[in-house]
Structure 1
Amino acid sequence: MDRISGLSDELLVKILLFVPTKVAVSTSILSKRWEYLWMGLPKLDYGRIDCSESECERLRCFLVRNLPLHRAQVIESFRLRVGCSCFKPENIQMLVLTAVSHCLRELKIVYESDSAELDILPSNLFTCKSLVFLKLAGDIILDVPRMVSLPSLKTLKLQKIVCCNGETRQRLLSNCPILEDLMVDLHDYDYTGKLSIVVPSLQSLSLFIPYRREIDGFVIETPNLKYFKLRDDSWHDHYSLIGNMPFLTEAYVDVDFPHISSVISITSVKRLAICSLDMLDEGFVFNQLEHLEVCLCTVLFSNQLVRLLNASSKLKRLDMSLTDGHVPRGMDDWNRPSTVPECLLSSLQSLNWLEYTGEPQERDIVVYILKHALHLKTATITLTESDFTKLDMIKELARSSRASTTCELMFD
């Protein structure tokens, strides 16, 4: 210990960064040398959602007393998770203000309470010139002041929080000139009206609209987007307007009610995961698509798989699986296409089918692809049935003809 204590303060602080903040604070009892070293930490991570009332109160008292005395000139990261009502709005406002005064770069607040949603964010947060990353989650009201300027913010995550009015979110987005990564997970019951996401600089967007969420519709204008994830479970009928995304390469689309043709006007994607009960329009084309993932709960609804294959002439990999949280809805009969899709004749190299049950519709699809995919290299089938039934399914598929002489049929 004496040899370690002889190191410089700067080096000791770097060593403390390798342990949780709570452990780093506990080193203050080692000796006078260590008493205040933790106060130079540039990364602070406090609390947990499942802490008891007594633990929460001790943490509140500790932070209110000690954070204003923190010695680091720059706080690179301040993370606070609170799962009780001990922390009052004024407490969190003071803590955030203190962190902001230290050239804060990353802020994460997860606040869950039995009380109603609270306005816990100081207005100074929204003019923090150093802030690069902001995540707000839980029982928080987002009340963005008229004066907003976040010139360095690149990543923004808003999870289950409540916006005080319809203009708040867009006012925030409009004043983040270099924002690149946005995640919006809407609150279950809060009424939004129209949701607008107009951010020219955005490169990654994840949007989740829950089942109970009442919404008139959403408008997305993100011309530089490269990654797009949309999960729209809302049972309320609403419109969706999505501008052109010429640079988009990867998209995950899971929707129930909107017209899919208006949701995925994203013909440039190279990778697409899709679950939708709606049909693609005839003539719709994914002219760059190489990797397609289709959810098994909708794969045969209105013969959607045929349309997807016909729309993807450059497809190299096809994955069939059940999206997390989804259950099979039953399948229509498999209608073989009148002409073989171009991707089967020219490009498809890999087929992966998870949770294969051996139902006639599933079997017919696999047999059809094996029969017509001229360049198929691997077909991997993951079975779900008992060992006895598995053997019959393996034999049945192994006997089916294959257009590709080099295709390797594998079973998990």
Structure 2
Amino acid sequence: MDKISGLPDAVLVKILSFLPTKVAVSSSILAKRWEFLWMLLPRLEFTSQMVTTKPGLGDFINKNMPLHRAPFIESLHLLLELSRRDSKPEDIKRWIEITVSRNVRELDIFYGSENENIFPSSLFTCKSLEVLKLKWATLMDIPSRACLPSLKILQLESVKFVDEQLLQKLLSICPVLEDLSVHCYKDHNMEEFTIIVPSLLSLSLFIPDDWLFDGYVIDTPSLNYLKLEDCNHLNHNSLIQNMPKLREAYVDVRYFLLKSVIESITSLEHLNLCVCKRDSSNLLGQYLLKDSPKLRVLDISIVGDHGMDERNGMVCWNQPSPVPECLLSSLQIFNWSRYFGRPQDRDIAVYILKNARHLKKATILADRSEHFVPNVQMIKELALSPRASIKCQVVFVEDLKWFV
């Protein structure tokens, strides 16, 4: 221990940086040399489990945060469980103010609150902030002169907006935002919302199933990746537009929203389609293939947690006519995981093999857990089917993981 204690502060702090903050703090009891070293750590993580005795976590942070001596704070992760919370909103606001004053680059805040403002105005003018993650917090207001010029990643999970304009107002002060994730909270006050971000490259949006709202607008001209999970069964509007650069999408929406979604993905190159719903085959044949002329990779699958009744009920395949442009000119990779070998499955696979002129590889992972078709018959049907591409390699694999 004496040899280690004799190392320079920078080396000891580097060692401590590989440990959880709780463990790094506990090193202060080793010797006087270690007493305040953890206060030089650039990455801090404070959680409700960190302090289990009285005084609690809030008192610990109030005592030590003002004494933190690092020239800048790389990141602050604050997890305050509602059941174990002993801090007040004004405390949290002060902690965030301190981190902002130290040129923080990443903030990760989990704080279950009801109409409590924990965000200081200085947060919304922080020039160094690059990553902001908020969970279960409430956003009350955004200052008029707000700007987050360096923010590239924004994650909002179950964040409550007291005003339905606040989401877009927050997005409008992020001129270089590239990655946005919004997991909507069904009990907030937004009846509709708008996502207009010219710089955005990746968007993940989740809409809960029983949220009463009117709809949303998405306008993201630079978007490359879209993940849209709209589970809401109530009728609502969605206007999805201006996505000329979209390359990859994961879409799980109700049928009445499909037209708006499909019209926005004409530049799509990678499609992952879950075929658990009854209308999945018609969606693929009549819309997705026709409206994706640049498609290079097609993945067909069944999401593991989707209902058994739904995936057993996919209707028969009505093949598109004429043959979609993507099959004639661009499709190169075709993958099907959890292939059951039912007539509708076979018809889709055979049609693609028959018409995809530039297909290089087709990988079929057979799932016999439902005992639809014997494995040998599955292989024979696809092996003997005609292929438009003489270079196409068909790989047939029995997916054993589903038998466990």
- Which of 391, 395, 398 aligns to 1:409? It is 395
User: For residue 383 of structure 2, what is the aligned residue in structure 1?
Assistant: 398
Contact 1:80 1:110 in 2 (8 A): yes
1:244 to 238, 242, 245: 242
- Where does residue 227 of structure 2 map in the other structure? 229
Q: Distance in 2 between matches of 1:127 and 1:338?
A: 55
- Please show how residues 63-212 of structure 1 align to structure 2 within 5 Å: 63-83=61-81, 84=83, 85-112=85-112, 116=114, 118-138=116-136, 140-147=137-144, 148-212=146-210
1:210 CA drift (Å): 1.1
Q: Which moved more, 1:328-337 or 1:356-365?
A: 328-337
How many residues align? The count is 388
Contact 1:190 1:214 in 2 (8 A): no
Asked if residue 259 in structure 1 is aligned to residue 257 in structure 2, the reply is yes
**Change in CA separation of 1:190 and 1:396 when aligned onto 2, cut-off 3 Å:** same
1:183 is paired with a residue whose SS is strand
| TM-score, length basis structure 1 | 0.84
CA-atom RMSD, angstroms?
2.7
Structure-2-length-normalised TM-score: 0.86
Which residue is equivalent to 2:302? 322
| Counterpart in the other structure of 2:402 | none
Q: State the alpha-carbon separation in 2 of the partners of residues 311 and 380 from structure 1.
A: 23
Identical-residue share of aligned pairs (%): 51
Which consecutive residues of structure 2, in runs of 5 or more, have no partner in the other structure? 399-404
Q: Which amino acid aligns with 1:320?
A: I
Residue 14 (structure 1) aligns with: 14
How far 1:314 sits from its partner (Å)?
A: 4.1
**Closer, same or farther: CA 163–380 of 1 in aligned 2, 3 Å:** same
SS at match of 2:216: strand
**8 Å CA contact 1:300, 1:334 repeated in 2:** no
Q: Which residue number in structure 2 is paired with residue 292 of structure 1?
A: 271
8 Å contact 1:223–1:244 — kept in the other structure?
Answer: yes
8 Å Cα contact 1:398-1:409 kept in structure 2: no
1:27 to 2:27 alignment: yes
* Corresponding letter in the other structure for 1:294: L
Offset at 1:165? Answer: 1.4
- Residues 248 and 270 in structure 2, CA contact (< 8 A), matched pair in contact too: no
Name structure 1 gaps, 5 residues minimum.
Answer: 268-285
Q: 1:106 to 1:361 in 2, by over 3 A?
A: same
Does structure 2 conserve the Cα–Cα contact (< 8 Å) formed by 1:244 and 1:265?
no
Deviation digits for residues 119-172 of structure 1 (CA, Å, limit 9, x no counterpart): 32233322323222211102x211124342323322221110111112322222
Question: What is the CA–CA distance in structure 2 between the aligned matches of 1:201 and 1:37, rounded to whole Å?
Answer: 40
- Post-superposition shift, 1:208? 1.6
1:259 aligned counterpart, secondary structure = helix
| Partner SS state of residue 310, structure 1 | coil
Q: Deviations over 1:15-47 (max 9, x none)?
A: 211111112112111211111111011110121
